[in-house]
């Protein structure tokens, strides 16, 4: 009985060595920081918020995963870019109608700042991004999220918004 339990435990631990979600290439565990985020996704809770039919902001939810595929917090910077939106910025002639909307980076390099942006109810970083008033949304815009860790490691994910 003990041998069967040990075998089951060993198989379970080996299964945890795969990439988050149990699929793909194994991700090595950093013994100094075993719960570090190694994968990211733009979460399906992300959405375009409209008031009176007019898009006013993007509510982005970003989820990180550790080596075992469990939700994790991360430290670094988040950048957001919305394509499929158009408009000439009032007073900003540098932005053409074909360029995506970009926001300043969200700084999560400080542990306190990272924890404040984290929503424990969803297990995601919840970021509200105001849209410029002149932006027109066409079709289904795509939100791209770029995370750069404190070690300069980059992760990219995108999601089509409803």
Residue with tokens 């550790």: 66
Q: Cα separation of 78 and 117, whole Å?
A: 11
75 belongs to a structural domain? yes
1 belongs to a structural domain? no
**Which region among 22-36, 60-74, 120-134 has the lowest average model confidence (pLDDT)?**
22-36
List, for residues 89-125, the tens digit of each pLDDT value. Answer: 433 444 445 688 999 999 999 999 999 999 999 999 9
83 belongs to a structural domain? yes
Token pair of 74, please?
Answer: 């991360």
Print the domain residue range for 132.
42-160
Token pair of 116, please?
Answer: 């404040």
2 belongs to a structural domain? no
Q: Cα separation of 14 and 31, whole Å?
A: 16
Q: For the chain, give percent helix, strand, coil, nearest 5.
A: 15, 45, 40
CATH number of the domain where residue 55 is located = 2.60.40
Residue 31 CB neighbour total at 10 angstroms: 6
35 belongs to a structural domain? no
Taking all residues of the chain, what is their mean pLDDT, rounded to a whole number?
Answer: 81
Q: Which long-range contacts (CB under 8 A, 24 or more apart) does 27-30 make?
A: 27/67, 29/67
List, as one string, the DSSP characters of 78-130: EEEEEEEEE-PBTTBTT--TTSPEE-PPEE--SHHHHHHHEETTTTEEEEEEE
What is the count of structural domains for the chain?
Answer: 1
Q: Cα separation of 39 and 37, whole Å?
A: 6
Decide which of 91 and 79 is more confident.
79
């Amino acid at each position: 009985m003990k041998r069967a339990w040990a075998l089951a435990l060993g198989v379970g631990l080996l299964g945890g060595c795969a990439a988050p979600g149990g699929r793909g290439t194994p991700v090595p565990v950093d013994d100094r920081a075993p719960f570090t985020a190694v994968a990211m996704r733009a979460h399906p809770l992300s959405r375009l918020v409209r008031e009176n039919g007019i898009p006013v902001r993007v509510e982005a939810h970003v989820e990180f995963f550790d080596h075992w595929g469990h939700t994790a917090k991360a430290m670094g910077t988040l950048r957001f870019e919305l394509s499929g939106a158009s408009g000439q910025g009032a007073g900003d002639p540098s932005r053409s109608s074909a360029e995506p909307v970009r926001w300043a980076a969200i700084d999560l390099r400080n542990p306190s700042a990272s924890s404040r942006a984290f929503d424990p109810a969803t297990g995601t970083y919840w970021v509200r991004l105001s849209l410029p008033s002149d932006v027109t949304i066409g079709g289904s815009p795509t939100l791209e999220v770029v995370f750069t860790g404190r070690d300069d490691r980059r992760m990219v994910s995108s999601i089509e918004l409803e």
